[in-house]
Structure 1
């Protein structure tokens, strides 16, 4: 069962192969979502300062009744944090909000502040400063692993060329019909695990008849097919939901997509409209590229 399987990060830390994404889950609902997920068998919870639900996530951890060391909790430095001093403070703020003595992994949410996501400035210096703060927190035992999110090759190289500790993950938008194969390959060549957020394409894959037909062929749901697709690319999927039925369905991926069908899915027609998510920089930017 996928919920019992792990990847191993470059520093030897185990990370569960399937995580629960919590974007768009209100702080008031976050504790229940964590409790439900843990009851189903999830041990990997992904949040962020920008989600505004770290306090609720922390309460859910306390309420879950599971030993802290059996859970893997990820949070993210706000994309706007681009100085050493701000990052040091933000790390401690997340520890306090979550009510934890340590965080399993903390990552830089974006190489650019969201308001500048499509701009020319890659904020190289600011990212190096934020990374230094993460490195020091890692070495101090506040964080068990550190990584990045939404980093392109040039952003990764900026860190790799100056770091003492290499990033352990790069969390990117990756799903059937929009899979950044070159970035994934480059990241994996550096020994960095790629995590896939929005593996179900913010629900847009439900509209793809070809994907629907392949899901029916395997007797699975479109979310199950989508999550399995990312796993077979050696990615770590982070489907987001507060619905326990969806959590359970998302974990039912104990099947194998044939190589032939994987090739079809890799070439699926590109999504050109993410609906309500188009306003989010990561979705709108992907459309413009």
Structure 2
């Protein structure tokens, strides 16, 4: 009886804090303008630089990244415009700015077992794999840029969990395997909803484009809305390639279901896997730079 009472109190506490997601403080005005710019497909470099300059911390992170060992520049890059044109590229700056801003707003440091580098590693591999899959001509008319951003945002709900429930997530992370499939299952079991659902609440609160809200809303569905089904399958296939790459015994044997899921030729999916495998160390270095 006492155990049941404690379970009820715990569940009420969890539900109460999840409800607080709907009342998260608004983003600072500068962040709102930056998010609007990075989600504008027609924004030019000059306008993007001007808007990003509203956040000195973001400028510092992007310049630090451009000058990191990962990009091995022979000369110091000291302005953002040059960093975008010569080193980072417009799409990378837009996507990483989005991720960094959301990461700054959700401080996960109270969750002792949360591995920021691992989080970025999963996010970046999924993003790049989804981007490459979307770029394969299959008559699906998918945006490679949207696929990259979708992959980057796929696990944003884990930051929400780490921010709102650091102690509870620590139990999951410290006592179980680090496999994200296990973490996903345990979060669903413990909180009664997936981290995708929590990520959806966050992105809706902060008014990100409906396209990405729909992705998180549909990701758990066995029958996603038809006009978004190809995109959701592409993101999920990118995620499965990520899991395969991070497996200690990574090989191509499990890629047939991935190809079927994405509706793509098996040999093309294998090619994406091999490309990602060859660049795994580089992505890991980039994740280390981003996680700081």
TM-score interval, normalised by the smaller of the two chains? under 0.3
Structure showing greater relative contact order (alpha-carbon pairs closer than 8 Å, 6 or more residues apart): 2
Relative to its length, the structure with more strand (as a share) is 1
Larger radius of gyration between Structure 1 and Structure 2: 2
